[in-house]
Amino acid sequence: MEPAHNSAQGNLLSMQNISKAFAGIPALSSASLDVGHAEVHALIGQNGAGKSTLIKILTGYVSRDSGDVRFDGADFLARSPQDAQAKGISTIYQEINLVPYRSITENICLGRESRRYGLLDWKAMHEEARHLMARFNIDIDVRKPLLSFNTATQQMVAIARAIGFKAKLVIMDEPTSSLDEREVAVLFDVIRQLKQSGISVIFVSHKLDELYQVCDRVTIMRDGRTVKTSAMKSISKIELVASMLGRDISQVSKHATAFGDRKGQIGDVLLQAQGLKAGHKVQDVSLNVRKGEIVGLAGLLGAGRTETVRLIFGADRLHKGSLTLDNKPFAPAEPIDAIMQGIGFSSEDRKLEGIIPDMSVAENMTLALMPQLTKMGIVDEEQQRLIVEKFITRLGVKCSGPQQRIRELSGGNQQKVLLARWLAMNPKLLVLDEPTRGIDVGAKAEIQTIVKELADQGLAVLMISSELEEVIEGSDRVFVLRDGHNVAEFVGKEINEGDVMAAMAHGASEKNGSSEEKRT
Amino acid sequence: MSDTTSPKMPVANSFNIGAFITKHATLVALFGLIAFNMAFTNHFLSMQTLNVNLTQVATIVIVGVGMTLVIATGGIDLSVGSMMAISGAIAPLIFLGTAVKISEIHLAVAVGMIVAVVAAGAFGWFNGWLITRFRIQPIIATLVLFIAGRGIAQVSTNGNLQPFKLAQFQWIGLGRWFGIPVQVVIMVALVAIAAWILRRSLFGRQILAIGGNENAARLSGIPVARVKRWVYCISGLCSGIAGLVVIAINSSSDANLVGLGMELDAIAAVAVGGTLLSGGRATVTGTLIGALIIQLVRYTLLANGVNDDVAKLVKAALIVLAVWLQRHGRS
C-alpha cells in the first residue's frame, strides 16, 4: 500500500475491544484506542483506569486476553518490547531507561550499531547521533557519558533513540514529570517536529494544561474502559476531569485544587533556617515556618528545593548556616534526630525513598512510629493495629486490609499511607516534597484537603510542589528559590501566578525585594 | 513457628492447589523427597537416618541463621567459614592451656568457648563496621575476612593441628540430650529465636525495612548503620558456634579445613529456602527447610548409588531452580 494513500484513510493504530485480566481481576474490559497518522493523542485516566495495561499490551510487556490490534495497516502483536520497537513502536518512560555511564552515541545506537569490517564504525555512529540530536536543536558532545547531562537532555536522547529505530509511533509516559517549564517547552517543540515528520505520539500525562498545548485528540479511560475520545479543542478541562472521575460536571469544584479557604490561626515561628549552605545546590537559603501555616517552596527544577528540605530533615549534611526549632538551636545529623524533634518528611520519590514495597500497609504506616510501639524490643501488634485502622479510615486508604502489601496499592493510596506514617507520630512540622506527584485527580484532592485540615489544627507544613497552582492556592506564604538562593517571599494575597513565576525565572523584582525587607 | 502463615486476606474461598504449591514450594519439595525416600530407599525410616541427616545439616543451618539475617538486609557474608576457623582455633588454645593456663577444666572449657564465640562475633562486627563506615559493598568487605580470617586462625595456632579428646568440651558435637544430638538442639533453638525476632521484634522489622528499601528506612528514622553492624555481628556469633561444633565432631582443630566452603552452603540453604537474595523478604524456617532439602537430595542420590560429584551438579541445579522460582513468584 502506498504511504500517501495509507495516511489519507484509516488510523495508524487501532486497538479494539481489548480485554485483560490479572489473576481473575479485570484490568481492561473491552477498551479501545485509535491513533491517527501524525497525530499527538493524549491518553488520560485516574490510577487504575487501565492506561498502563493498555500501553503494556501495545509494547509487548503483557499479552492481551482478547481484542484486535491493527498497526500500520496490518494485524499487530508484540511478543516483547524489543519486538514492538522493531515493528515501529517506541516508548519513552517516566524513569528514563538508558545506560547512564555510556556515551550519548552508544545510547542512541545501542542494539543497531554500525559495523565496518566487523568492527564498530564509531565515526558513522557519532555522526548519526549528532545528526539526530541536531534535529532538536541540541548541539552537544555526543561522546560524553549520558549522566553528565540533565534530565531533559537525557529525555531527548531517549526520543532520538526512538527515532533512530524508525519509530512510527512514540509512546511518552508522563514525560514532563521531571522537567521544569523551560524544558517542557523544548519537549513540546520536539513533539511538534515529530508530528511534522509523520510520527504519531501517545502522550500520557496527569497535567491537563499540557494536553491542550500539544495534543490533537484525547482518549479518556475509567475502570478499564474507554469512556470518551474527543478532539482536544472541543472538550473543556472540567469535562476532562468529570469524565475521568465519572461524575457530573456540576459536581466538580470550580477550584483547581482542594485547598480552599483556610480557617486556622497562624502562630509563632516554629522553624527558622538561616543562611543554609550545602554543596552546589544550596548556596544561601533562609526561610521560616510558623505554627499552623502552610509554607510553599517554589522554584524551577534544580533550584535547590529538595536539597534544602533534606538539610532541615537531617538527610544531608549542612555545611554552613543554622537552624532553630521553637527558638532552640537544632542540628540534625541524621533523619532520626529530626524525627525525635517532631519533624516528618515525605520524599518526592515514593518508590525510591518512601515505600518498602514488600512490607504491608500496616508496617509501612508505622515505620517511623515503631520504636514507640515497642516494649522490651517486641512490637505491640495490638496497638499497631489500632493505629493503622484509625488512619486507614481517617485518610480513606483503599486497601484489602492492613496486611496487604503496599506495592499492590495505587500511587495515591501509597501516598496516603506515607502521609499516615508521619501523622501517626503527631508531628509539629511536616515537610512534603511533591505530595501529589503522579497520583490521580481524586486522591490528589483528598490529600490537599487533609493537609489543609491539619494546618487548621496547628500543624506547620513546608510544601514543595512543581505544580504552580498547588503552591499558589495551597500556601499561606511562598518562598521562591532560584539557583540555591531564596529570591522572593510572598504572603497571603500577594501570592499570584505571575509574580511567583517571574521570581522563579528572574529572581526578585523591585517590588518583592522591598516586601521582603519589610518582613525582616 | 512457620513464618509463612498468611494473614487474613479476602481471597477466593476455593482452595487453589497451584497457588499453594508455588507459595510453599520448599515445603512441598521437602515432603516430596521424604515420600520418595520412603518408597525407594531401604531403611530410610529410622532414627539413625534422621540423626545422620540432622547432624550433617546442623552447622549449615546454624551459620545459615546468621546468613539469613544478613541477606535480609540486602547484604551477604562471605567470611562465615573463616570466622568458624577462628573460633575453632581459639577455643582449644584456651582449654588445652596453650595460650592461658586455667586449672579447672570446666572453667577452661567455658572460657574457651565463650572467648571463641565472642571473638567471631567481634570479627562479624568488624565486617559491619567496614560496610557502614566506609560504604564498602558487603561482598567486598566480607571478602577481606574471607581471605584474612583463615590466616588469622593459622597464625594464632602457628599452623599446628590441635588434636584433643575432651568430653567436657565435645558434648557440643557428640553429645545427646534426650536422645537428640546437641547440635541439633542448638540448631532448632537458634532457628526458633531468629524466626521469632524477625517476626515479632523491632529489630526484625528494621532488618526487613533496610533490605526492602534502605533509603526509605533511613528517612523513617531507622538506625541503618547500627542495625547492620548487629546483623553482621550475629552472623559472626553463629559462625563461632558452628566452628565449635565442627571441631568437637572432628576431635581436632585444623585452621585449614574448619568451615571451608561453608559460605556457599549457607547461602545455598538461604536461597533454596525462599529468602529473597536482594533483601527485604526473609524466612529463617525456610533456611532450615532449604538446608534439609539440599542435604536430603544428596543423601537420596548417595543412598541410591549415585556418585557424589553428580550430587554436586544436582545441588547446583537446585539453587538455579530456587532462584528461578523466586523470580517467577514475584511477577
3-state DSSP assignment of residue B71: helix
> Do B222 and A336 make contact, defined as CB atoms within 8 angstroms?
yes
Closest partner residue to B216 among A313, A354, A377, by Cβ?
A: A354
Instruction: Report the residue of B5, B6, B14, B213 to disrupt the A interface, i.e. the one with the largest count of A CBs within 10 Å.
Output: B213
The pLDDT, as a whole number, for residue A301 is: 63
- Quick check: A261 pLDDT over 80? no
Closest partner residue to B9 among A367, A379, A403, by Cβ?
A: A403
> Do B221 and A368 make contact, defined as CB atoms within 8 angstroms?
yes
- Quick check: A389 pLDDT over 80? yes
The pLDDT of A28-57, averaged and rounded, is 89
Instruction: Report the residue of B4, B219, B226 to disrupt the A interface, i.e. the one with the largest count of A CBs within 10 Å.
Output: B219
> Do A345 and B219 make contact, defined as CB atoms within 8 angstroms?
yes
CA B244 to chain centre: 14
Strands A225-231 and A320-325: unpaired
Closest partner residue to B220 among A24, A367, A379, by Cβ?
A: A367
B324 to chain A, minimum CA–CA distance in Å?
A: 18
Question: What is the full DSSP assignment across A469-500?
Answer: HHHHHH-SEEEEEETTEEEEEEEGGG--HHHH
Strand arrangement, sheet containing A74-75: A25-35, A13-22, A66-71, A74-75
3-state DSSP assignment of residue B264: helix
How many residues are there in chain A? 520
- Quick check: A514 pLDDT over 60? no
Cα dist. A311→A9, A303, A323, A415 in Å?
Answer: 58, 14, 9, 22
Closest partner residue to A356 among B201, B223, B280, by Cβ?
A: B280
Q: What is the CA radius of gyration of chain B?
A: 20
Closest partner residue to B223 among A336, A368, A401, by Cβ?
A: A336
Closest partner residue to A370 among B7, B10, B202, by Cβ?
A: B202
Name chain A contacts of B194, Cβ cutoff 8 Å.
Answer: none
Is there a domain that residue B187 lies in?
yes
DSSP state of A360: B
Write b or e for each residue in A383-403: b if 16 or more Cβ atoms lie within 10 A of its Cβ, otherwise e: ebeebbeebbeebebebeebb
Is there a domain that residue B323 lies in?
no
Name chain A contacts of B216, Cβ cutoff 8 Å.
Answer: 347, 352-356, 367
Distance, in Å, from the CA atom of A228 to the CA atom of A219, rounded to the nearest integer, reads 6
Closest partner residue to A356 among B200, B201, B209, by Cβ?
A: B209
Averaged pLDDT of chain A: 84
Helical H segments across B73-104, by residue range: 80-95
Q: How many CB atoms lie within 10 A of CB A512?
A: 20
Distance, in Å, from the CA atom of A86 to the CA atom of A49, rounded to the nearest integer, reads 28
Nearest to B79 by CA among B43, B109, B123, B35: B123
Name chain A contacts of B9, Cβ cutoff 8 Å.
Answer: 400-401, 403-404
A353 to chain B, minimum CA–CA distance in Å?
A: 4
> Do A377 and B201 make contact, defined as CB atoms within 8 angstroms?
yes
At B146, give phi and psi (nearest 5°).
-55, -45
Q: State the count of interchain CB pairs (< 8 A) between A and B.
A: 91
* ipTM for the predicted complex: 0.84
Is there a domain that residue B211 lies in?
yes
Helical H segments across A313-426, by residue range: 335-340, 361-365, 381-395, 411-423
The pLDDT, as a whole number, for residue B22 is: 64
Q: What is the CA radius of gyration of chain A?
A: 25
Binned at pLDDT 50, 70 and 90, residue A257 comes out as: low
> Do B212 and A357 make contact, defined as CB atoms within 8 angstroms?
yes
Cell of A174: 508522563
Is there a domain that residue B297 lies in?
no
The pLDDT, as a whole number, for residue B19 is: 67
Cell of B193: 529465636
A447 to chain B, minimum CA–CA distance in Å?
A: 20
User: Which secondary structure element, helix H or strand E, spans residue A218, and what is its range?
Assistant: strand A217-222
* Domain count along chain B: 1
Span A456-512, pLDDT tens digits? 889 999 999 877 778 888 889 999 888 788 888 988 888 877 777 777 766 665 444
Span A3-32, pLDDT tens digits? 433 443 579 999 999 999 876 678 899 999
Residues of chain B with pLDDT under 50: 1-13, 331
Cell of A315: 538527610
Q: What is the dihedral of CA A354, A443, A360, A49, to 10 degrees?
A: -110
Nearest to A364 by CA among A446, A291, A420: A420
Span A87-109, pLDDT tens digits? 999 888 766 678 888 888 888 88
The pLDDT, as a whole number, for residue A252 is: 46
| A383 in B contact zone (CB under 8 Å) | no
Is there a domain that residue B52 lies in?
yes
A191 to chain B, minimum CA–CA distance in Å?
A: 34
Tell me which residue has cell 493537609: A451
Q: How many CB atoms lie within 10 A of CB B97?
A: 14
A241 to chain B, minimum CA–CA distance in Å?
A: 32
Is there a domain that residue B309 lies in?
no
Q: What is the dihedral of CA B83, B84, B89, B90, to 10 degrees?
A: 70
Helical H segments across A110-258, by residue range: 122-134, 151-164, 181-196, 208-214, 237-245
Helical H segments across A72-180, by residue range: 81-86, 104-109, 122-134, 151-164
Name chain B contacts of A315, Cβ cutoff 8 Å.
Answer: 218-219
Helix-strand-coil split of chain A, %, nearest 5: 40, 25, 35
Distance, in Å, from the CA atom of B218 to the CA atom of B231, rounded to the nearest integer, reads 16
CA B136 to chain centre: 23
Is there a domain that residue B53 lies in?
yes
| Segments forming the whole domain that contains residue B164 | 46-259
Is there a domain that residue B300 lies in?
no
The pLDDT, as a whole number, for residue A285 is: 92
- Quick check: A200 pLDDT over 60? yes
Span A221-256, pLDDT tens digits? 988 899 999 999 998 877 787 787 676 555 444 455
Span B316-330, pLDDT tens digits? 888 888 777 766 655
In chain A, positions 223-252, which contact chain B (CB-CB < 8 Å)? none
The pLDDT, as a whole number, for residue B319 is: 80
Closest partner residue to B220 among A24, A404, A421, by Cβ?
A: A421
The pLDDT of A50-68, averaged and rounded, is 90
Closest partner residue to A379 among B9, B202, B218, by Cβ?
A: B202
3-state DSSP assignment of residue A385: helix
State the amino acid at position A377 in one-letter form: G
> Do B201 and A358 make contact, defined as CB atoms within 8 angstroms?
no
> Do A353 and B216 make contact, defined as CB atoms within 8 angstroms?
yes
Strands A13-22 and A343-346: unpaired
> Do B213 and A356 make contact, defined as CB atoms within 8 angstroms?
yes
> Do A352 and B215 make contact, defined as CB atoms within 8 angstroms?
yes
Distance, in Å, from the CA atom of B61 to the CA atom of B238, rounded to the nearest integer, reads 9
> Do A403 and B276 make contact, defined as CB atoms within 8 angstroms?
no
Cell of A372: 514507640
Helical H segments across B273-307, by residue range: 284-303
| A352 in B contact zone (CB under 8 Å) | yes
The pLDDT of A310-314, averaged and rounded, is 94
Tell me the percentage of chain A whose pLDDT exceeds 90: 38
Write b or e for each residue in B191-223: b if 16 or more Cβ atoms lie within 10 A of its Cβ, otherwise e: beebbebbbebbbbbbbbbbbbbbbbbbbbbbb
Span A116-168, pLDDT tens digits? 777 888 888 898 888 888 877 777 888 888 888 877 788 888 888 888 888 89
State the amino acid at position A53 in one-letter form: T
The pLDDT, as a whole number, for residue A262 is: 67
Cell of B140: 567486598
Chain A residue closest to B197 (CA)? Answer: A378
The pLDDT, as a whole number, for residue A4 is: 39
| A161 in B contact zone (CB under 8 Å) | no
Binned at pLDDT 50, 70 and 90, residue A258 comes out as: low
Which residues are bridge partners to A431 per DSSP? A345, A462
Q: How many CB atoms lie within 10 A of CB B229?
A: 21
B186 to chain A, minimum CA–CA distance in Å?
A: 23
Which runs of E-coded beta strand occur in A279-406? 282-290, 294-298, 320-325, 328-329, 343-346, 374-375, 378-379
- Identify the sign of the CA torsion B317, B322, B327, B328: positive
CA B95 to chain centre: 26
- Quick check: A440 pLDDT over 90? no
> Do B209 and A377 make contact, defined as CB atoms within 8 angstroms?
no
Nearest to A260 by CA among A443, A457, A467, A450: A450
